Chains A and B, each alone.
Chain A
Amino acid sequence: MTQNRPDPSLMDRLLTGIPGLDEITAGGLPLGGSTLVEGTTGSGKTVLAFHFLQAGIVAFDEPGVFVTLAESPEKLRRFVTEFGWPVAGWEEQRSFAFVDATSDFAAGAVMVVGEDLDFGVLLSRVAAAVERVGARRVVIDSIDGLLDRYGDRAGVRRGLQQILTGLESLGVTALVTMGRSEDYGPVRNSGVEEFVADNVVILRNALHDGIRRRTFEALKLRGTHHRRGEFPFGIVRGQGIVVIPIVPSPRPPATSERISTGNPVLDEMFGGGLFQDSVTLVSGSTGVGKTNLAVQFVLAGIAAGRTSVLVGYEESRHQLLEGFRSWGVDFEQLEADAKLRLLCVAPEAASFDEHLISIKRATSEVGADRVAIDSLSTLERYGPERVFREFVVALTAHVKDHQMAALLTTTTSALASTTAPSERHVSALSDAIIIMRYAELEGEIRRCLAVLKIRGSDHDKRIREFTIGDEGIVIGGPLPTAGLLARGGAPDRPA
């Protein structure tokens, strides 16, 4: 029940969906507020602003409005084709709208600017566009457009304030871009910071020793414990902005500590168990026993005096507890003793970022050194593959950074020979792979498993039959003939 609801501390935040940014800002931008994006020319302000709207539309079904004060909509549509963003398509399906507030007079016309400008009409235009598409996100790009055109004067600044205050009353979360003349110099003295001073991020593209390096810095964000300092980012063709939330402290060295999978025979097959900081992929057909293996793995950690987190995306908490009643383990007591955390979340209830954040929170709250996720392939269906891949990368980085052991399951159809994207992404990142399949033998359907790889150790290469007993998986001898294993499709095995 409650676990399907987003965490209350994240309620006043808006996950941007921009890779890496939500990690650095510890959950996104202040919801319903305006965030100022400062940067020199070419620092990526417009790309970031556009990506903010793109991610809203694609990942969160949140329409957006782009108020352009500098480049024409025409030019912007062309500009973002590099990232594969179909702006015209969004406009057609009414999930996106431009407000063209570029030069407000035709070419060849004469423009005379006086005093006491009232920007209420621009605000009304923005409000109308917000209403038309049901926008949750608004971008104003860039404030310099107004300052350059109407002069950097007190009246114009008041006008800006009028617009930004008005945005708040529209209930949208806004990104407002503004130029700076130097990467590390003072900001343009426009007074803009005075009224959006709560939230400021800076994009830099500074030259260090002859090499340009793009960085993202969350200078200040209201009510957040965002990460300090500059983080590298890239402007990636076909993707947009990718911020790399590198860990500030040097990574601890990999351990050589071996741990039990929870199954002594499987430990033997791995040549003495898994490594403590490792990611193990369990690829299996539906119902073959992956959840059993995941639960055994989690309990083995607890038996060794450690704590574990079990993340279930396929079953409700109730179903999960019911299913393992026969094992004679009181999961609820283990939770009460803070040895275990069951995180049962409907995959559609949250975005990948939110899932990642809740996994991180659960593992850090109980100080887990094991985490099992059952299954990744269920989760994978609820978002774009690109975002899922980033989720997997961030998840495995989190596991390694905290020297945890992770066991991730993916479901492979017994009938299809294609590999699920989750397997492709995870198998490359995993240290060990177990495959579990059904085999047809002597007119019977039997279960079998094999260790496909383990980094840094020898392993049993035979395919072993197994059964599921009252207390989990019981591994038997090698399967006499094993030609059928491949029918389920083995995951790609990186060289």
Chain B
Amino acid sequence: MTVFSLRLYVSGDHPRSRAVEQGLRRLCAERFADAADYTLEVVDLEQRPGVADEERIVATPTIDRVAPLPLVRVVGELGSSDRLGDALGLPGRHDPPGRAVVADPNEAARRPDRREDPS
């Protein structure tokens, strides 16, 4: 299957940064059957200030789904790990991998066919 590549940007080693990181790790453990199916990199922008300029990061936390394309960027907290998982298009719940989900809770319900494509 497609290998997911996720990157979490935080600023500073604060309890909040750690909570976001732990939440994301937990979510990944739930959604991916195999740890080889994804990579998760945590970047502390206070430690690597140049990265914020390069990646044009304006606010934290920011989570990028670098692969598969298209790039998905989640800025801020979405309130629940389900919403975050859906936003990042993680496997194992509502949506097949590779499909980006916009932050519209009604959209998934509107989709006519959510079964896996047999081909």
Contact of B49 (CB < 8 Å), options: A99, A106, A124: A124
Q: Does A128 contact B (CB under 8 A)?
A: yes
A106 to B46, CA, bound (A): 23
**Which residues of the partner chain A approach B103 to less than 8 Å between Cβ atoms?**
112-114
| B31-67 with Cβ < 8 A to chain A | 45-46, 49, 52-53, 55-62
**Which residues of the partner chain B approach A106 to less than 8 Å between Cβ atoms?**
71
Q: Does A442 contact B (CB under 8 A)?
A: no
Q: Nearest CB to that of A146 among chain B residues?
A: B58
Please determine whether B76 and A111 come into contact, CB atoms closer than 8 angstroms.
no
Q: Does A336 contact B (CB under 8 A)?
A: no
Q: Does B3 contact A (CB under 8 A)?
A: no
A117 to B101, CA, bound (A): 20
Interface size, chain B (Cβ < 8 Å): 31
Range of interface residues on A (Cβ < 8 Å): 20 to 34
**Which residues of the partner chain A approach B82 to less than 8 Å between Cβ atoms?**
none
Q: Does A109 contact B (CB under 8 A)?
A: yes
Number of A-B contacts (CB under 8 A): 100
Q: Does B29 contact A (CB under 8 A)?
A: no
Interface string of A93-136 (1 = CB under 8 A from B): 00000011111111011111111111111101100100000000
Given contacts A121-B52, A128-B49, contact A112 B57 (CB under 8 A): no
**Which residues of the partner chain B approach A118 to less than 8 Å between Cβ atoms?**
11, 59-61
Contact of B59 (CB < 8 Å), options: A102, A108, A121: A121
Q: Does B15 contact A (CB under 8 A)?
A: no
Interface string of A68-109 (1 = CB under 8 A from B): 000000000000000000000000000000011111111011
Q: Does A159 contact B (CB under 8 A)?
A: yes
Contact of B76 (CB < 8 Å), options: A103, A109, A116, A124: A116
**Which residues of the partner chain A approach B112 to less than 8 Å between Cβ atoms?**
none
**Which residues of the partner chain A approach B49 to less than 8 Å between Cβ atoms?**
124-125, 128
Q: Does B70 contact A (CB under 8 A)?
A: yes
| B3-39 with Cβ < 8 A to chain A | 9, 11-12
Min Cβ gap B86→A in Å is 9
Given contacts A124-B45, A125-B53, contact A111 B59 (CB under 8 A): no
**Which residues of the partner chain A approach B73 to less than 8 Å between Cβ atoms?**
104-105, 109-112
Q: Nearest CB to that of A145 among chain B residues?
A: B58
Please determine whether A159 and B74 come into contact, CB atoms closer than 8 angstroms.
no
**Which residues of the partner chain B approach A119 to less than 8 Å between Cβ atoms?**
58-59
Q: Does A331 contact B (CB under 8 A)?
A: no
Q: Nearest CB to that of A111 among chain B residues?
A: B73
Min Cβ gap A366→B in Å is 55
Please determine whether A102 and B70 come into contact, CB atoms closer than 8 angstroms.
no
A458 to B62, CA, bound (A): 79
A141 to B61, CA, bound (A): 23
**Which residues of the partner chain B approach A128 to less than 8 Å between Cβ atoms?**
49, 53
Q: Does B100 contact A (CB under 8 A)?
A: yes
Please determine whether B52 and A114 come into contact, CB atoms closer than 8 angstroms.
no
**Which residues of the partner chain B approach A105 to less than 8 Å between Cβ atoms?**
56, 71, 73
Please determine whether A120 and B102 come into contact, CB atoms closer than 8 angstroms.
no
A117 to B62, CA, bound (A): 9
Min Cβ gap A163→B in Å is 10
A114 to B77, CA, bound (A): 5
Please determine whether B72 and A150 come into contact, CB atoms closer than 8 angstroms.
no
Contact of A121 (CB < 8 Å), options: B60, B72, B76, B78: B60
**Which residues of the partner chain A approach B9 to less than 8 Å between Cβ atoms?**
121
**Which residues of the partner chain A approach B75 to less than 8 Å between Cβ atoms?**
104, 111-114, 117, 150
A109 to B77, CA, bound (A): 18
Contact of B77 (CB < 8 Å), options: A101, A104, A108, A116: A116
**Which residues of the partner chain A approach B101 to less than 8 Å between Cβ atoms?**
110, 112
A110 to B66, CA, bound (A): 11
Q: What are 8 contact pairs spanning A and B, CB under 8 A?
A: A105-B71, A110-B100, A111-B75, A113-B74, A115-B77, A124-B46, A125-B53, A146-B58
Which residues of A approach B to under 8 Å, CB–CB? 99-106, 108-122, 124-125, 128, 146, 150, 155, 159
